[in-house]
Amino acid sequence: MTASLAWLKQQLATIFLFTAIGAEALMSWLTDYVRPRIRGLLHREVPDNLWTNCSNCNQMILTKELTRSMNVCPHCGHHMKAAVAERFAWTFDEGSWTRIELPKVAADPLGFRDQKRYNDRLKDARSKSHLDEALAVAHGKIGGQPAVVAIMAYEFMAGTMGTALGEAFIAAARLARLQRAPLVIFTASGGARMQEGMLSLMQMPRTTVAVEMLKEEGLPYIVVLTNPTTGGVSASFAMLGDVQIAEPKALIGFAGPRVIEDTVREKLPEGFQRSEYLLEHGMLDMVVPRRDLKETLARVISLLTGAPKNGAASPDVVAKPEAV
């Protein structure tokens, strides 16, 4: 009797165990497999990043298509902003470039605070942009020719110029001198960084001296102005290039059009402060669409350094210019 009772108990325990396992398996099958499929049938989720709206003509563009067209709207030709990594990839020969580490400076020299602490603003900008500052520098090859390229990041506090940016620019110029290579800079800036007050304005003469150093060495300094390039940056290193190139319809100027209109009390002409207007008035050498920029840079570098592009003899090669 005792033995059969024990046997019964064992059977019950086994049934209970299997039922528990079965129930658990059934539950996980329902939650992991059936529920997501039902959910998928009810509302097919469209990823947010599949389409992008053009900020100029407001037409929808397939994000993949926009990536292929280098962030240029296929409908109206509007040149949208580009991230630093994209610019490097578009400019250098594939696999030829290396980013350099930039000098560290005191993060918040004035202990500045408005609605937010400057330090917190910097932290936010760093985590959002995955950049240390508003300027990134790399060296590599453009059309087979060595070059140092600096790219301003508008996504980092509107590409404003503070001490770190000034130091980064000087580091880029020094690297160009060390490598006997031209320096190419893509500008995009809202101007001086007000959180650094006077120290920010001091970067205007400092970067100007760095450009002068390149000119003394006879090394080409090429500027590519992108939308927008304003304020202290447009009043210093952005307008000192041996060759001044701009992307189409980029806003380039010191003060904004409204400030000027209020000051001169006159209506400004159509297209004022845009690349094409500046080209017409002798402030630029050329306006080049983004898809042709790399080829143009390779040609300009070849012309200025006398180096054959891609190792081939170029008929339009000129003698290396003497130091200015």
Strands 98-99 vs 60-62: parallel, antiparallel or unpaired: unpaired
Q: How many CB atoms lie within 10 A of CB 296?
A: 17
DSSP helix/strand/coil, 176: helix
Residue 48, token pair as written in the block: 């947010």
Query: Is there a contact between 268 and 243 (Cβ–Cβ < 8 Å)?
Result: no
Query: Is there a contact between 103 and 206 (Cβ–Cβ < 8 Å)?
Result: no
CA proximity to 290, closest of 65, 39, 77: 77
Q: List interacting residues with Zn ion (CB under 5 A).
A: 54, 56-57, 73, 75-76, 78
CB nearer to Zn ion: pick between 78 and 249: 78
CB nearer to Zn ion: pick between 141 and 274: 274
Give residue for tokens 């940016």.
Answer: 165
In angstroms, what is the minimal distance from the CB of 29 to Zn ion?
Answer: 49
In angstroms, what is the minimal distance from the CB of 76 to Zn ion?
Answer: 3
In angstroms, what is the minimal distance from the CB of 296 to Zn ion?
Answer: 23
In angstroms, what is the minimal distance from the CB of 171 to Zn ion?
Answer: 37
Query: Is there a contact between 57 and 73 (Cβ–Cβ < 8 Å)?
Result: yes
DSSP helix/strand/coil, 165: helix
Beta-bridge mates of residue 185:
150, 223
In angstroms, what is the minimal distance from the CB of 59 to Zn ion?
Answer: 5
- Say which DSSP state 179 is in: H
Element (H, E) at 28: helix 2-29
Angle at 122 between CA 118 and CA 123, to 5 degrees: 115
CB nearer to Zn ion: pick between 34 and 76: 76
CB nearer to Zn ion: pick between 73 and 307: 73
Q: Give 297: exposed, middle or buried? Use CB within 10 Å, 0-12, 13-18, 19+.
A: buried
CB nearer to Zn ion: pick between 78 and 99: 78
In angstroms, what is the minimal distance from the CB of 53 to Zn ion?
Answer: 9
In angstroms, what is the minimal distance from the CB of 71 to Zn ion?
Answer: 11
Give residue for tokens 């993060």.
Answer: 107
In angstroms, what is the minimal distance from the CB of 271 to Zn ion?
Answer: 17
Distance between CA atoms of residues 134 and 125, nearest Å: 9
CB nearer to Zn ion: pick between 30 and 57: 57
CB nearer to Zn ion: pick between 54 and 211: 54
**CA-based end-to-end distance of the chain:** 113
CB nearer to Zn ion: pick between 31 and 53: 53
